Amino acid sequence: MRAARFGLVFLALTIVAVVLLLLIPEQITRGHLGLLMLGLIVVAILLGFPTAFTLMGLGMVFGFIAFHRPGQAFFSSPIFDQMVLRTFGVMTNDVVMSVPLFVFMGYVIERTSIIDRLFRSLHVTMGRIPGSLAVATVVTCTIFATATGIIGATVTLMGLLALPPMLRAGYDVKLASGVIAAGGCLGILIPPSVMLILYGATAQVSVVQLYAGALFPGLLLALLYILYVIGRAKLNPALAPRLPREESNVPMGQALKMLVGSFVPLAVLIVAVLGSIVGGVATPTEAAAVGAFGAIMLAAGYRRLDWARLKESVFLTARTTAMVCWLFVGSQLFSSTFALLGGQGILEGWVTALELSPIEFLILSQLVIFLLGWPLEWTEIIVIFVPIFLPLLGHFGIDPLFFGLLVALNLQAAFLSPPVAMAAFYLKGVAPPHVTLGQIFHGMMPFMAIQIVAMVLLYAFPQIGMWLPRVLYQ
């Protein structure tokens, strides 16, 4: 219920802000209509209607008003043709085209049970490290993140695989659930991620460069998680007790064999896919298709390929792709109407009137995105709010690539910030009944703090993200 109250407060605040904004100017121009539309989208999304159609609907309604000329017949409004044209634009967008292929690859790999072998062999080989189960969880998530860009699945899967052994070994519930939720979300940051494809398509930034740029910040975040877990386990061993003898008593040779069997084939596939993209050999679409083919071969190799599983992966791919792409259709109509009304000009006027330094602007924009991440999801932020900041980047001399990396890191927090922390709900869905949502939220907080640390690090040392794209493409 706390979440509902939070939602109501946010809703009320947005409405108050919109009303105030419309009262201040002496004359309501078309631009203000655009701002009204922007305020209404937040309200409308919170009403819980599917976001894709909310964007489409507001785009249609305001577009109709924008195009309206006195005496014009209803159905001759150009907005109807706009709707068709924008849809066709998404259908022929060769950047978004790689989304279904990466999604397909992810679902096929997820159904091979590789992640399950990987986790078990890792935690046996890492038995001597403090908090070994939690460390193995982060490492498994990181490796899995380089093979898939799906989020919900990883958290659910790790919740089933890693949570029961951690609880059995006497781990602190908060630490155990926090590490799964945080680790599971790495998939959206570490390439190949669907989020970066959408950002690239929205911001006209090369997805290849985004992938190259996001690799090290993603690994840095994973490393920080691991250091945090080891640190906590060292300081207070009661939080993450060592494994009992009989569980860690698997002969090293056998454990290594398991690790090689689960890791090497997957690693070859990942290196081939990511390497060919980042190395500039293949386009993301080409690499994704080869990756999907490789995933099917891998599934066949593990004897996990059958008609039923293939069918499931195909159907799930269709649903996830439709979800992402229809959202993009809606956002295209929305942003074209916003541009038509000219709301962007007013916003730019405000921001330039603030006379911010580039650093202040960067902090302000990231703060806005961070706050929006509490009630909204990453998809909505990327397709609605990022386009608003983008035209301002040139004014402050900020590289859209660097901005994209900061946003990607920032949105990691959107998954962990209550009340819409998707990760928490996925985990709650598969956790034993005595693990409460409150414990999960509580456990995620330190990881959110780590994400902020990672953002500060990336900001202070932009080379973490920018080094690889610069070396490769300049």
Q: How far is CA 410 from CA 365, 443, 458, in A?
A: 11, 19, 11
Closest by CA to 391, choosing from 380, 379, 403, is 403
Q: In angstroms, what is the minimal distance from the CB of 195 to another protein?
A: 13
Among residue numbers 73 through 102, which ones bind another protein (CB under 8 A)? 79-81, 83-85, 87-88, 90-92, 94, 96-97, 100-101
Q: In angstroms, what is the minimal distance from the CB of 11 to another protein?
A: 7
Phi, psi of 148, deg, nearest 5: -145, 155
Q: Which amino acid does the sequence have at 228?
A: Y
Using CB under 8 A as the binding criterion, the count of chain residues that bind another protein stands at 86
Q: In angstroms, what is the minimal distance from the CB of 6 to another protein?
A: 7
Does 53 help bind another protein (rule: CB under 8 A)?
Answer: yes
Q: In angstroms, what is the minimal distance from the CB of 198 to another protein?
A: 12
Does 472 help bind another protein (rule: CB under 8 A)?
Answer: no
Nearer to another protein (CB atom), residue 56 or residue 398: 56
- Inter-helix orientation angle 79-91/307-341, to 10°: 140
Nearer to another protein (CB atom), residue 171 or residue 326: 326
Q: Residues 418-447 vs another protein: string with x where CB under 8 A?
A: -xx---------x-----------------
Among residue numbers 235 through 264, which ones bind another protein (CB under 8 A)? none
Nearer to another protein (CB atom), residue 53 or residue 263: 53
For another protein, which residue of 160, 223, 339, 437 counts as binding (CB under 8 A)?
160
Nearer to another protein (CB atom), residue 85 or residue 456: 85
Among residue numbers 4 through 23, which ones bind another protein (CB under 8 A)? 4, 6-8, 10-11
Q: In angstroms, what is the minimal distance from the CB of 13 to another protein?
A: 13
For another protein, which residue of 18, 33, 36, 110 counts as binding (CB under 8 A)?
110
Of 43-51, 394-402, 405-413, 441-449, the segment contacting another protein by CB under 8 A is 43-51
276, 282 Cβ separation under 8 angstroms: yes
Q: DSSP string spanning 282-320?
A: S-HHHHHHHHHHHHHHHHHHTT---HHHHHHHHHHHHHH
Nearer to another protein (CB atom), residue 247 or residue 348: 247
Number of Cβ atoms within 10 Å of the Cβ of 154: 28
Long-range contacts of 228-235 (CB under 8 A, 24+ apart): 228/446, 228/447, 228/450, 229/131, 229/134, 229/135, 229/138, 229/175, 229/179, 230/129, 230/130, 230/131, 230/135, 232/131, 232/175, 233/130, 233/131, 233/134, 234/130
Closest by CA to 18, choosing from 343, 299, 450, 240, is 343
| Strand intervals (E) in 269-394 | none
Q: In angstroms, what is the minimal distance from the CB of 4 to another protein?
A: 4
For another protein, which residue of 22, 46, 297, 452 counts as binding (CB under 8 A)?
46
Does 56 help bind another protein (rule: CB under 8 A)?
Answer: yes
Among residue numbers 194 through 233, which ones bind another protein (CB under 8 A)? none
Q: In angstroms, what is the minimal distance from the CB of 290 to another protein?
A: 6
Does 57 help bind another protein (rule: CB under 8 A)?
Answer: yes
Does 172 help bind another protein (rule: CB under 8 A)?
Answer: no
Closest by CA to 423, choosing from 130, 241, 256, 181, is 181
Among residue numbers 305 through 334, which ones bind another protein (CB under 8 A)? 312, 314-327, 330, 333
Q: In angstroms, what is the minimal distance from the CB of 139 to another protein?
A: 19
Among residue numbers 325 through 384, which ones bind another protein (CB under 8 A)? 325-327, 330, 333, 375-377, 379-380
Q: Is the dihedral of CA 148, 153, 157, 163 positive or negative?
A: positive
**CA 16 from centroid of its chain's CA atoms:** 30
Q: How many residues are there in the chain?
A: 474
State in Å, rounded, how far the first CA of the chain is from the last one: 52
Residue 171: partners with Cβ closer than 8 Å, 6 or more residues away: 131, 133, 134, 239, 240, 241
Residue 385 has what DSSP assignment? I
Q: Is the dihedral of CA 193, 196, 197, 198 positive or negative?
A: positive
Nearer to another protein (CB atom), residue 130 or residue 184: 184
Among residue numbers 268 through 297, which ones bind another protein (CB under 8 A)? 281-282, 285-286, 288-290, 292-293
Nearer to another protein (CB atom), residue 115 or residue 351: 115
Q: In angstroms, what is the minimal distance from the CB of 208 to another protein?
A: 16
